[in-house]
Amino acid sequence: MFKTTSDFYSAMNRSCFTHLKSKGLSSVKKWLVLILFLVAVSLAAYYYTVQLEQSRKLAIIERPIIGNKERKARTTYAVPFIFRPITPSPFNVFFVETSCAFQSSVKPGFLQLSKRQACAIYSTAVLNPKHRIIIVHTCPLIKDYSQRWKEDWPELLSLGNVGVVEAKIPWLLSETPVASLLDGRLNRSAYPVEHTSDLVRFAVLYKYGGTYLDTDIISIRPLDDLGHNYIGAQEDKVLASGIMNINPTDVGHQFIEEALSALKFSFNGSVWAANGPQLITRQLRKFCKLDPKETFDKMGKLDCGLTVHPPNTFYPIPYWEWEEFFDETAWPRIKDQLNNTYILHFWNKLTKDSVIYVGSQQPYGIIAANYCSPIYYKNGDEF
Ligand SMILES: *[C@@H]1O[C@H](CO)[C@@H](O)[C@H](O)[C@H]1NC(C)=O
Ligand SMILES: *[C@@H]1O[C@H](CO)[C@@H](O)[C@H](O)[C@H]1NC(C)=O
Ligand SMILES: *[C@@H]1O[C@H](CO)[C@@H](O)[C@H](O)[C@H]1NC(C)=O
C-alpha cells in the first residue's frame, strides 16, 4: 500500500487534517492531535526496532557450553545450539539428517545442506514464524561449524527460528522403546541410512512431539491449519511417514508409543519400507480400529483422535509421476492440483539426479522461486 513509512505518514497527515477541518477544530487542538500522532508513530517504530533486534539476537549462534557433568555423561555428542536442550513442544518442527549413520570413518565436517534441503527448511521457517525449526544432525561436525554455517546459510539464520542440534543416534534413541535395536539389528540393516531415519523421526516425535518433515519438501501453506496428531496418506491404501505431527502428551503420544513398541519386535532390516510407511499404516489401522477395506483417500479426523490427511495435502503428485516436477509444460496441470496442498513432497530418492535450471518453467523450480526465492537464486544457475 505505502512504499515507505513517510508515504504512510504523509497520507495519514492528509487524512488527519481533512478530518480536523471538517470538524472545525481550533488550531491548538490540531497541533495536539498531530503531536499525539507523532508520539504514537515513534513508539511503534521503537517497538518494531526492539523486536527486530531481539529476533536478530536469537539468530546468533551461541558457543557450545558443556558445564553440566550430568548431561555430558548422558550424551557424548558435541553440542546443540539455539534450542538447547530440545524441549517437548507442539511447536517443534524436525528435519533429520542421518546420511552418515553407522559409517565408521566419517571425519567431522561442516553442516552440509543442498539448495533443495535449504529450501525445505527456509519455506517452512518463513511460513511458521512461531515454530522452532530444528535440524537434527547426526554426522560429526567440526568445532567451528557454527561460524561456517553462519557464512554459508545467512538466509536461514536471519529468520531467527532455525537451529541445529548435533546428536548421536544412541542418544536420540535412548529412553525409547526402540533403543534395544542398537544391539546390532539396526547397524546390520540393508538400508542403514533409511532405517535409521525411520527410527529417529519416530523417536524425536515420541520424546519431544511436534512435526517431522522430510528434507525433500517445500512448504506452501502454514502448518497451523492442519491441526494436531496427523499423518498423510500417499495413496488410498498407504500412509507415508515423510510428514507427521504428534502432540507431546495426548493420544498422539500414545499412538507413537504403541507404534515404537511394535517396531521393537517387527523391525525388518531387509525390506526398505517395512519400518516406516508399512509400520505406520498397519499401526494406524490397529490403533483406530479401521475396517481393512477402508481407504485413506477421503479421511480426515478419526474417532481415535488421529487425523489422516488425504494424498493432495502433502503428496499431490504421486511418486510414479515424479517427472512432472521437471517438465516445463507441466505447470498448468500441477497448479490446479495444489488447491488443498500444504506441503509438497518431491520424492528425492527418484528426483535427486534431475537438474532444475534457475529461471526455467520446471514446476519444482517455479514452486521454489515462490517459496524460497533467496535460496533458489543463490549461487549459480542450478537448483
Ligand atoms: C553393530 O552394533 C553392535 C552392537 O553395538 C556391535 O557389536 C557391532 O560391532 C556393530 N557392527 C557394525 C558392522 O557396526
Ligand atoms: C523381512 O521381511 C521379508 C519379506 O516379508 C521376510 O522374508 C523376512 O523373513 C523378514 N525378516 C525378518 C527378520 O523378519
Ligand atoms: C483451484 O483454484 C483455482 C482458483 O481458485 C480454480 O480456478 C481451480 O479450478 C481450482 N482447481 C481445482 C481442481 O479445484
Residue 140: C-alpha distances to residues 107, 136, 171, 181, 202 (Å):
7, 11, 13, 21, 21
> Which pTM was predicted?
0.79
Ligand 1 mean position, distance from CA 169 (Å): 13
Q: Within 13 A of 331's CA, how many CA atoms are on the CB side?
A: 11
Q: Are 322 and 329 in contact (CB under 8 A)?
A: no
Instruction: Give the residue, by CA position, lying nearest to ligand 2 atom 12.
Output: 268
Residue 75 φ then ψ, to 5°: -130, 125
Residue 381: C-alpha distances to residues 204, 355, 357, 359, 375 (Å):
36, 10, 6, 8, 11
> Which ligand sits closest to the CA of 333?
3
- The per-residue pLDDT for 346 is 97
Buried b (16+ CB within 10 A) or exposed e, 306-337: bbbbbbbbbbbbeeeebebbbeeebbeebeee
Ligand 1, pocket residues at CB < 6 Å: 102, 182-184, 187
Instruction: Give the residue, by CA position, lying nearest to ligand 1 atom 10.
Output: 184
Residue 141 φ then ψ, to 5°: -110, 145
Give long-range contacts, CB 8 A cutoff, 24+ apart: 333-337: 334/363, 337/312
3-state DSSP assignment of residue 266:
helix
Can you tell me which residue has the cell 513442544? 89
Instruction: Please give the mean pLDDT across all residues of the chain.
Output: 85
Write out pLDDT tens, residues 77-125. Answer: 333 345 557 889 999 999 999 888 777 777 888 888 999 999 999 999 9
Ligand 1 mean position, distance from CA 337 (Å): 46
The x, y and z cell numbers of residue 157, run together, are: 539464520
Q: Are 37 and 12 in contact (CB under 8 A)?
A: yes
- Mean pLDDT, rounded, for 248-252: 95
> Which ligand sits closest to the CA of 185?
1
Q: In a 10 Å sphere around its CB, with 0-12 CB exposed, 13-18 middle and 19+ buried, how is residue 63 labelled?
A: exposed
Which percentage of the chain shows pLDDT scores above 70?
A: 84
Write out pLDDT tens, residues 308-347. Answer: 999 999 999 999 999 999 999 999 999 999 999 999 999 9
Ligand 3 mean position, distance from CA 118 (Å): 29
Q: Is the CB of 336 within 6 Å of ligand 3?
A: yes
Q: Is the CB of 278 within 6 Å of ligand 2?
A: no
Ligand 1 mean position, distance from CA 233 (Å): 35
- The per-residue pLDDT for 7 is 53
Q: In a 10 Å sphere around its CB, with 0-12 CB exposed, 13-18 middle and 19+ buried, how is residue 341 labelled?
A: buried
> Which ligand sits closest to the CA of 341?
3
Instruction: Give the residue, by CA position, lying nearest to ligand 3 atom 6.
Output: 336
Write out pLDDT tens, residues 179-211. Answer: 999 999 999 999 999 999 999 999 999 999 999
Ligand 3 mean position, distance from CA 115 (Å): 30
Residue 157, pLDDT above cutoff 50:
yes
Ligand 2 mean position, distance from CA 268 (Å): 6
Dist CA 50 CA 16 (whole Å):
28
Q: Is the CB of 265 within 6 Å of ligand 2?
A: no
Residue 295, pLDDT above cutoff 70:
yes
Ligand 3 mean position, distance from CA 261 (Å): 43
Ligand 3 mean position, distance from CA 339 (Å): 6
- Mean pLDDT, rounded, for 210-236: 97
- Mean pLDDT, rounded, for 251-275: 95
| Ligand 1 atom index nearest CA of 102 | 14
> Which ligand sits closest to the CA of 340?
3
Dist CA 90 CA 96 (whole Å):
17
- The per-residue pLDDT for 109 is 83
Instruction: Give the residue, by CA position, lying nearest to ligand 1 atom 14.
Output: 187
| Ligand 3 atom index nearest CA of 339 | 1
Reduce the secondary structure of 72-119 to three states and give it as a string: HHHCCCCCCCCCCCCCCCCCEEEEEECCCCCCCCCCCECCCCCHHHHH
- The per-residue pLDDT for 2 is 46
Residue 254, pLDDT above cutoff 90:
yes
DSSP structure string for 286-335: HHTT--TT--STT--B-TTS-EEE-HHHH-SS-GGGGGGGG-TT-HHHHH
| Ligand 3 atom index nearest CA of 338 | 1
Neighbours of 371 (CB within 10 A): 21
- The per-residue pLDDT for 245 is 98
Query: Cα angle at 24 between 21 and 28, to 5 degrees?
Result: 90
* Residue 137 per-residue DSSP state: E
